[in-house]
Amino acid sequence: MTQQTQQTQQTTLFDRTRLGGLELPSRLVMAPLTRNRAGADGVPGDLMATYYAQRASAGLIIAEAATPNAVGRTYPHIPGIHTAAQVAGWRRVTDAVHAAGGRMYLQLQHGGRVGHPDTSGHVPLAPSAVRFPEPLHTPGGLRDAVAPREMTEEDIRSTVADFANAARSAVEAGFAGVEVHSANGHLLHQFLARNTNRRTDGWGGSVEGRIRFTVEVVRAVAEAVGPDRVGVRISPGLGVNGIEEGDTAAIYPALVGALAQLGPVYLHQVYADPASPLFDAIRRAWPGTLIANPALTREEVAADGGMRAGERLLAAGADLIALGRGFLANPDLVERLRTGAPLNAVRPEFLMYVQGAEGYTDYPALDASGIRAAAPAAAGPRGGRRPAAV
């Protein structure tokens, strides 16, 4: 019997539940969101440890994307999980979260064509040599994308191995598990989509060929750390980062069915819509825990952090609800939603491509009376370069 069939109409966002070997105090998950606060070498520092520890009351934290190798790096100050220093930095983060009572997974992401030599030191790799259509943030500012190099069979096999090694390193760093990122226009999603995967070999063409890379990465990661420590993120139909899947309704049932045979502990659907036939099809096809991340307007985030949208997804069969910006601005989001306390407003100018504590660790929590307390002290410098748009 799946978790879906066990749910009753009385299930709420604040119920305790289980995820593999983890006991979760609620069904509210902090979604992974890139914040660009790691060091220039991809090493997480004390500021990141403070940020995540402040949010340890989430049912589960899925930490922001970390790259499994150097060529997979997307933007400046993105964390990695492929050097000893990066593993040690993440260990400081997980130690801080565990000390605050939290639970934590790490998302593994390879950018594929979403990368630049000025950032990574490498020409990007991708399923096909299809250039990213927009300028990219680099240490020297916005730069036009370069044409990626089409991955050889050796590139593919070594990248699969890098994901497995990154998963082992994440467990060594204290994470309870990892989330394989096959969404949002990054490398695995590029293999799924027709406009970025123009291959005619066994890694492209048919639906079976285009899902193969994601399946092989998840297989290798599950063999490395155990399927009960592995989640997978998908974003059916989401056209970010220049993606045009072309056959969304065909590719995702095939992908979900193939992944189900590998037994990952959860599937995480981005921008899930409870009224969508595809959401219903994925829920029926997926035998395990389904995390749903709702698409939210700024007004919905300001009004309730996504609580009502999450409740609708829970009623439609999701098991856990992942929220992003609500957790960014409210380190104690679960308690605020539970009690109906007011929410901090998101400051979008500090979301990405900036450095320092401002708009990161200086969002206040509630004090015992339910009033916004002063922002906690945070390590690291304040301020930094602001993005042109978020």
pLDDT at res. 369: 58
- Angle separating helix axes 248-260 and 277-285, nearest 10 degrees: 20
Averaged pLDDT, 100-119: 98
Indicate if the pLDDT at residue 344 is higher than 80: yes
Q: How far apart are CA 103 and CA 174, in angstroms?
A: 10
Q: Which residues contact 152 (CB under 8 A, 6 or more apart)?
A: none
pLDDT at res. 10: 73
For residues 3 and 289, the answer to whether their CB atoms sit within 8 Å is: yes
Averaged pLDDT, 213-233: 98
pLDDT at res. 372: 58
- Angle separating helix axes 248-260 and 207-225, nearest 10 degrees: 30
pLDDT tier, 226 (very low <50, low <70, confident <90, very high otherwise): very high
pLDDT tens per residue across span 352-367: 999 999 999 999 999 8
For the chain, the average pLDDT equals: 93
Three-class SS state of 213: helix
Phi, psi of 192 (to 5 degrees): -75, -30
pLDDT at res. 382: 34
DSSP conformational letter for 64? E
Pairing state between β 28-30 and 320-323: parallel
Q: How far apart are CA 28 and CA 273, in angstroms?
A: 17
Instruction: Please give the radius of gyration of the chain, using alpha carbons only, rounded to the nearest integer.
Output: 20
Report the greatest alpha carbon distance in the chain: 63
pLDDT at res. 5: 44
- For 135-173, b/e burial (b = at least 16 CB within 10 A) is ebbbeeeeeebbebbebeeeebeebbebbbbbbebbbeb
Percent of the chain surpassing pLDDT 90:
91
Percent of the chain surpassing pLDDT 70:
92
The CATH architecture of the domain made up of 3-350 is Alpha-Beta Barrel (3.20)
pLDDT at res. 386: 29
pLDDT tens per residue across span 14-72: 999 999 999 999 999 999 999 999 999 999 999 999 999 999 999 999 999 999 999 99
Task: Locate all alpha helices (DSSP H) within 143-240, ordered by sequence.
Answer: 153-172, 187-192, 207-225
For residues 28 and 333, the answer to whether their CB atoms sit within 8 Å is: yes
pLDDT at res. 368: 62
pLDDT tens per residue across span 312-325: 999 999 999 999 99
Q: How far apart are CA 259 and CA 156, in angstroms?
A: 19
pLDDT at res. 129: 98
pLDDT at res. 367: 83
Indicate if the pLDDT at residue 1 is higher than 90: no
pLDDT tier, 380 (very low <50, low <70, confident <90, very high otherwise): very low
pLDDT tier, 385 (very low <50, low <70, confident <90, very high otherwise): very low
pLDDT tens per residue across span 234-254: 999 999 999 999 999 999 999
pLDDT tens per residue across span 68-98: 999 999 999 999 999 999 999 999 999 999 9
For residues 376 and 365, the answer to whether their CB atoms sit within 8 Å is: yes
